[in-house]
Structure 1
Amino acid sequence: PAAPYDLQEPFLKLAFGFMGITDITFVHADGLNFGDEQRDKSLAEAESALQEAVKTW
């Protein structure tokens, strides 16, 4: 639902694409300001996604 408001990913894709880098994986850590429990859950999910992304390098 918030995709129309996301200006970071399109800009980064454009900037890196200009340099020839097109294989980009974004890892999101959303909800970090919604309390400790939500922050910890979001960070754990992001860390897991990073570990999976690193396996493909």
Structure 2
Amino acid sequence: MPEPDEAAGTPETAEQQRLTQETKNEKLMWWYLAYFLFGIHIIAFVMIFAIKNAK
């Protein structure tokens, strides 16, 4: 018969995997947000430059 710790370890392993995946997804979400905001600023600077240098 398995030890009680081993039987209890299986749900914890699944929970640990879920938490690991959730953490990974959260980090990716922050990177995507950072790239998005950076891109918006680049576009804004280009538009400002274009307007200021228009004849």
Which TM-score band applies after superposition, normalised by the shorter structure? 0.3 to 0.5
Q: TM-score, normalised by structure 1?
A: 0.39
Q: Normalised by the size of structure 2, how large is the TM-score?
A: 0.41
Larger C-alpha radius of gyration, 1 or 2?
A: 2
Identify the structure with the greater helix proportion.
2
Structure with more relative contact order (C-alpha pairs < 8 Å, separation 6 or more)? 1
